[in-house]
């Protein structure tokens, strides 16, 4: 379990513990909600909203819908006849916890990341069709590097060196092949495309032609689809 996953689990467990405490208060409170509990409930609800947005940037999923229903109610009132809204949010948090513990969140993030990469690849394709091979090569190469970095994150492979600097395509490529994420043949292919990207980034535009950039685009599209799924 990586550091980020552990931190998310600690955070969601704290939310659940607070929710259970508030629920117990509600069950035993026959009358008006105290100011202290109103403040705690308000803070709890606000922080959960921020947490869900951070964990699930796309707001059309069921967790955001359930939370929106919670906010529609008078959620800052809680007593013996009105505490189930807090219980429901605890249920949402338990579902989020299950996804985090079982690696489902990483799969969702990978899919979102793949969509983002697809948009940049479409941009690279458009530039190629307009004849801008050099700008296209830089963008496509950046998508390749980001894909490798994401694969390292998924497989708990380091993405920074001992000096705290981000690893570039070549060292990321070496670590991924060494970690068994893909084989030597794929590694060699990526090395070749990394050379093309570096030539484009450093102004060596005569070292490659538009057909090679088109082939690079096809490779990165296929590679991203195969490994970010």
Domain that holds residue 222: 104-227
Q: Are residues 149 and 178 in the same domain?
A: yes
Q: Are residues 93 and 114 in the same domain?
A: no
Per-residue confidence (pLDDT) for residue 15, from 0 to 100: 92
Mean pLDDT for 137-165 is: 87
In the chain, how many domains are there? Answer: 2
Distance (Å, whole) CA 97 – CA 43:
20
Look up tokens 């082939």; give the residue: 215
Which of these ranges, 11-15, 33-37, 49-53, 74-78, has the smallest mean pLDDT? 74-78
Mean pLDDT for 82-91 is: 86
Q: What mean pLDDT, rounded, does the chain reach? A: 83
Identify the CA nearest to 88 among candidates 72, 60, 67, 59: 67
Per-residue confidence (pLDDT) for residue 111, from 0 to 100: 44
Band (112; pLDDT cuts 50, 70, 90): very low
Q: Are residues 51 and 136 in the same domain?
A: no
**Percent of the chain residues past pLDDT 90, beyond the cut:** 28
Q: Are 141 and 149 in contact (CB under 8 A)?
A: no
SS3 content of the chain, % helix, strand, coil (to 5): 75, 0, 25
**Percent of the chain residues past pLDDT 70, beyond the cut:** 87
Band (24; pLDDT cuts 50, 70, 90): very high
Q: What is the CATH number of the domain that holds 129?
A: 1.20.120
Beta-carbon-side half-sphere exposure of residue 145 (alpha carbons within 13 Å): 18
Using the 3D structure, point to which of 63, 81, 101 is the last residue of a domain.
101
For 5, list phi and psi in degrees, rounded to 5.
-60, -45
Check pLDDT > 50 for residue 80.
yes
Q: What is the pLDDT of residues 165-220, one digit of tens each?
A: 888 899 999 999 999 999 999 999 999 999 998 888 888 889 999 999 999 999 99
Q: Are residues 214 and 161 in the same domain?
A: yes
Q: Are residues 62 and 26 in the same domain?
A: yes
Tell me the whole-structure pTM to 2 decimals: 0.51
């Amino acid at each position: 379990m990586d550091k980020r996953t552990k931190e998310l689990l600690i955070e969601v467990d704290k939310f659940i513990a607070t929710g259970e405490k508030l629920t117990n208060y509600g069950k035993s409170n026959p009358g008006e909600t105290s100011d202290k509990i109103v403040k705690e409930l308000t803070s709890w609800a606000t922080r959960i909203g921020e947490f869900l947005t951070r964990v699930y940037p796309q707001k059309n999923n069921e967790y955001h819908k359930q939370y929106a229903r919670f906010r529609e109610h008078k959620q800052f009132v809680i007593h013996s006849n009105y505490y189930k809204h807090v219980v429901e949010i605890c249920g949402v948090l338990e579902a989020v916890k299950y996804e985090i513990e079982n690696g489902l969140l990483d799969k969702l993030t990978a899919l979102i990341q793949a969509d983002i990469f697809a948009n940049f690849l479409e941009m690279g394709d458009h530039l190629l069709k307009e004849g801008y091979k050099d700008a296209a090569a830089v963008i496509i190469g950046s998508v390749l590097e980001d894909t490798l970095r994401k694969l390292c994150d998924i497989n708990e492979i380091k993405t920074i060196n001992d000096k705290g600097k981000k690893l570039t395509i070549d060292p990321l490529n070496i670590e991924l092949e060494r970690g068994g994420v893909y084989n030597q043949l794929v590694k060699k292919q990526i090395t070749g495309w990394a050379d093309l990207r570096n030539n484009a980034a450093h102004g060596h535009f005569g070292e490659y032609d538009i057909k090679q950039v088109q082939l690079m685009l096809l490779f990165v599209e296929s590679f991203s689809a195969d490994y970010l799924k």
